[in-house]
Amino acid sequence: MKITLIGAGYVGLVTGTCLAEVGNNVLCLDVDPHKIATLKSGGIPIYEPGLEDMVRRNVAAGRLDFTTDIAAAVQFGDIQFIAVGTPPDEDGSADLQYVLDAARNIGRHMNGFKLVVDKSTVPVGTADRVRATIAETLASRGLEVDFCVASNPEFLKEGAAINDFMSPDRIVIGTDSERATQLLRRLYAPFQRNHERLVVMDVRSAELTKYAANAMLATRISFMNELALLAEKLGADIERVRQGIGSDPRIGYHFLYAGCGYGGSCFPKDVQALRRTAREYGAPLRILDAVETANEAQKRILVEKLKSRFGAQLDGRRFALWGLAFKPNTDDMREAPSRVIMEALWAMGATVAAYDPVAMPETRRLYGEHPSLMLAPHPMDALRDADALLIVTEWKAFRSADFAAMKALLRQPVIFDGRNLYDPATMRREGFEYFPIGRQA
């Protein structure tokens, strides 16, 4: 099939490449000329394991291409995926300007039938607005051309995006036409594996499903984070509690890890947007108000622990920070806890020596040559003369640390571990002051 991806960011690029991988012809459109130039020259603008090879393979096979030419992109695909950003507005609701721009562009350049698919995470009712926008634009051209609008939210996780897309738990499709359902069934047939992955529903339910999934996961995490604080006070261990409750299949083990808060481009903004929609429709989601408040506090939890140990006056102090990305296996720093932590430490007069395996260029882009930020070429370099280490992202490499060498480099053997990487008893034996989350120090 011939497919256009409008927006070549995390979701657009992964979706386009995976659809090409199973034999479709895909053209990815982006308004960012740098992104397209990078892709055209064989590079990829993001860090996502396995993606670069897959892009290269499909470009070489002639199934995948990139463009900034809107008219050509719209005319190319029988299916037009809208995968542009939906960042939060000042009031927390999803900003739909990029989605509606994409819809206008489709209306402006389409000449024959198109199936338009909203892949971006969008509030309930957006498919109707996309349909109306395309219809208006077509009318202004004096044209009547048939088209369908469907919703197909994306559930991939950064860092595992290819596997999530190629082997999905489910593929949610919201349509109000048999033609759209049949086209999407055909498109997704190669991803079905050995049992039905397609969950077909009406458009509004599909739009809500995406927010419901992210809000449910964020709620689990915030609940565990609050329980962890209680466990610390009670002399209990949140890791044991996690194993104890996760073994109940009604609860399950996934997304029960207490830590220094959730970040990323989805949970924070989607929780905010769903809260906003719920208030607007007079059915407030009080639970989500608490989830967001708890997460904002949780992102500062390491800073609070550090203040209890070192006081609030940190002039002349230096702290090492391991992990800048909002989670491992990505260079994405959107809403990353590391940013809240670094900014709080700077405000108290401290300097930070940070290391991340892939997110340091992104950190430079965000903070420039910040006078209180040193980026270390190796995790051990960050430790030299630091008053303590803060662990913010659970990159695998941090798990197999050389404790003796760490102790020799740190000014004081103090570790605040926001991701519970080490066993507290071992750390005590190794001579560290170790502050995990929800476990006994």
Q: Is 221 in the site for ligand UDX (CB under 6 A)?
A: yes
Q: Does 259 contact ligand UDX by CB under 6 A?
A: yes
Tell me which of ligand NAD, ligand UDX, none is bound by residue 83, counting a contact when its beta carbon lies within the kind-specific cut-off of 5 to 8 angstroms: ligand NAD
Which of residues 58, 120, 137, 329 is near ligand NAD by CB under 6 A? Answer: 120
CB of 228 to ligand UDX, least distance (A): 10
Task: Check: CB of residue 171 under 8 Å from CB of residue 197.
Answer: yes
Strand ranges inside 141-206, DSSP E: 147-151, 171-174, 198-201
Do the Cβ atoms of 159 and 49 come closer than 8 Å? yes
**Minimum distance from CB of 337 to ligand UDX (Å)?**
7
In the list ligand NAD, ligand UDX, none, the entry touching 86 (Cβ below 5 to 8 angstroms by class) is ligand NAD
Residue type, 240: R
Rule CB under 6 A: say whether 340 interacts with ligand NAD. no
Give backbone dihedrals phi and psi of 35, rounded to 5 degrees, phi first.
Answer: -60, -45
Helix or strand holding residue 64 (H, E): strand 64-67
Position with the least CB separation from ligand NAD: 9
Cβ nearer to ligand NAD, comparing 165 with 422: 165
Among 31, 155, 348, 358, the residue binding ligand UDX under the rule CB under 6 A is 155
Binding to ligand NAD by residue 8, rule CB under 6 A? Answer: yes
Written as six digits, the tokens of 65 are 């291409």
Residues 6+ apart with CB under 8 A from 399: 421, 422
CB 80 within 8 A of CB 4: yes
SS3 call for 417: strand
Beta pairing class for 373-375 and 318-322:
unpaired
Q: Which of 28, 148, 260, 266 is catalytic?
A: 266
Token representation of residue 206: 């599909």
In contact, 399 and 426? CB cutoff 8 Å? no
Taking CB under 6 A as the criterion, the residue among 93, 121, 137, 338 binding ligand NAD is: 121
Binding partner of 101, given ligand UDX, ligand NAD, none, CB within 5-8 angstroms per partner class: ligand NAD
The distance of closest approach from Cβ of residue 72 to ligand NAD in the complex, given in angstroms and rounded to an integer, is 13
Q: Answer yes or no whether residue 327 interacts with ligand UDX by CB under 6 A.
A: yes
48 binds ligand NAD (CB under 6 A): no
For the beta sheet containing 2-6, the strands, ordered from the edge strand earlier in sequence to the opposite edge, are 64-67, 25-29, 2-6, 79-82, 114-118, 147-151, 171-174, 198-201
Helical spans, DSSP H, in 155-237: 161-166, 178-188, 203-234
32 binds, among ligand UDX, ligand NAD, none (CB under 5 to 8 A by kind): ligand NAD
Structure tokens at 107: 């209306």
Does residue 260 have an active-site annotation? no
Selected from 18, 19, 29, 203, the binder of ligand NAD by CB under 6 A is: 29
The one-letter code for the residue type at 244 is G
Which residues, 6+ apart, have CB-to-CB distance to 328 below 8 Å?
Answer: 159, 393, 394, 395, 396
CB 373 within 8 A of CB 342: yes
User: HSE on the CB side for 297, CA within 13 Å?
Assistant: 12
> Is 93 an interacting residue with respect to ligand NAD (CB under 6 A)?
no
Using CB distances below 5 to 8 A depending on partner kind, what does residue 6 bind out of ligand NAD, ligand UDX, none?
ligand NAD
Q: Which of 158, 226, 232, 417 binds ligand UDX (CB under 6 A)?
A: 158
Q: Taking contact as CB under 6 A, which single stretch among the options 77-85, 188-196, 294-302, 335-343 is the one that binds ligand NAD?
A: 77-85
Q: Which does 263 bind (CB under 5 to 8 A by kind): ligand NAD, ligand UDX, none?
A: ligand UDX
Q: Which residues are catalytic?
A: 266
Question: Applying CB under 6 A, which residues contact ligand UDX?
Answer: 154-158, 214, 217, 221, 255-257, 259, 262-264, 266-267, 326-327
